[in-house]
Amino acid sequence: MPSFDVVSEVDKQELDNAVNQTIKEITQRYDFRASKSEVNLEKDLIKLLSDDEYKMKALQDVLLSKAIKRGLDSRVLDFGKVEDAAGGLAKCEVKIVEGISQELGKKINKAIKDSKLKVQSQIQGDQVRVTGKKRDDLQEVISFLKENDWEVPLQFKNFRD
């Protein structure tokens, strides 16, 4: 039986490129000269550090614009609260949203069942597997899911006949 997986993944290389472009831009921009602005990419977190809240907002805008230009969806970056750090600096943690949560998986599952298409769907960890008898039914599910606006960007992988 044909099947495919609905996943939400982030292209790590493009994210790394966006962070590197952000670092390059803040070293060259006039308003960031002589500031202690930093951008650090960790496994699933980006740490931003800047002089004050104004520069932090500008730093967030630069990071978001670079990520969008690299083809990343803006929903993969979850900007946290701007907090005070040592030395009068401001810090912010940006979570990288990856994977489909259980609640969202249930919503996707319910939407597929309510669409009355002749397919089965089940949650498998942080992805949803959809199986059906015909390839056309699966393609209808993909177009149905693309029409709706979900909390995270969705990709469709492992299409098997």
Contact yes or no for 22/60 (Cβ under 8 A): no
Q: What is the mean pLDDT of the chain?
A: 90
Q: How many Cβ atoms from other residues are within 10 Å of residue 43's Cβ? A: 6
- Integer Cα distance of 5 and 126 in angstroms: 10
Q: Collect all residues with Cβ–Cβ distance below 8 Å to 142 and sequence separation of at least 6.
A: 4, 156
What pLDDT is recorded for position 148?
87
Q: Side chain identity at 158, as an amino acid letter?
A: N
Question: Could you tell me the pTM of the whole model?
Answer: 0.84
Burial tier of 10 (Cβ tally within 10 Å: 0-12, 13-18, 19+): buried
Q: Collect all residues with Cβ–Cβ distance below 8 Å to 92 and sequence separation of at least 6.
A: 47, 48, 56, 60, 79, 80, 81, 82, 83
Q: What would be the CATH architecture of the domain defined by 12-96?
A: 2-Layer Sandwich (3.30)
Domain 3-8+100-160 has CATH 3.10.20.30: no
Do 3-8+100-160 and 12-96 share a fold? yes
- Per residue of the chain (161 residues), what is the pLDDT tens digit? 888 998 999 999 999 999 999 999 999 988 888 888 899 999 889 999 999 889 999 999 999 999 999 999 999 999 999 998 888 899 999 999 998 889 998 999 898 888 888 888 888 888 999 998 888 888 888 898 988 888 889 889 988 87
Return the domain boundaries, the chain.
Answer: 3-8+100-160, 12-96
How many CA atoms are closer than 13 Å to the CA of 45, on its beta-carbon side?
A: 7
What pLDDT is recorded for position 33?
84
Contact yes or no for 156/5 (Cβ under 8 A): yes
